[in-house]
Amino acid sequence: MGELKDKIKGHADKMVGEIKRNVGKATRNPNLEAEGEAQKMKGTAEKAKGAVKGTINKF
């Protein structure tokens, strides 16, 4: 069950990060753009964590 929670959280972080990054680009705000990119990477890591947990739980 924890793997699903990690995957969902990761997906949400990626989506919010993408929005922040795009708003940062549109408003020429490099700090917001960088924050969005960092949140996207965090989301990718969360999704990977969930996938690993799911694989481990299968064994």
The domain ranges of the chain are 2-58
State pTM to two decimals.
0.82
Both tokens assigned to 42 = 């965090």
User: Which pLDDT value is given to residue 8?
Assistant: 92
Query: pLDDT tens for residues 3-59?
Result: 889 999 999 999 999 999 999 999 999 999 999 999 999 999 999 999 898 888 777
User: Which pLDDT value is given to residue 56?
Assistant: 83
Q: What is the distance of C-alpha 4 from the center of its chain?
A: 14
User: Which pLDDT value is given to residue 30?
Assistant: 97
User: Which pLDDT value is given to residue 1?
Assistant: 65
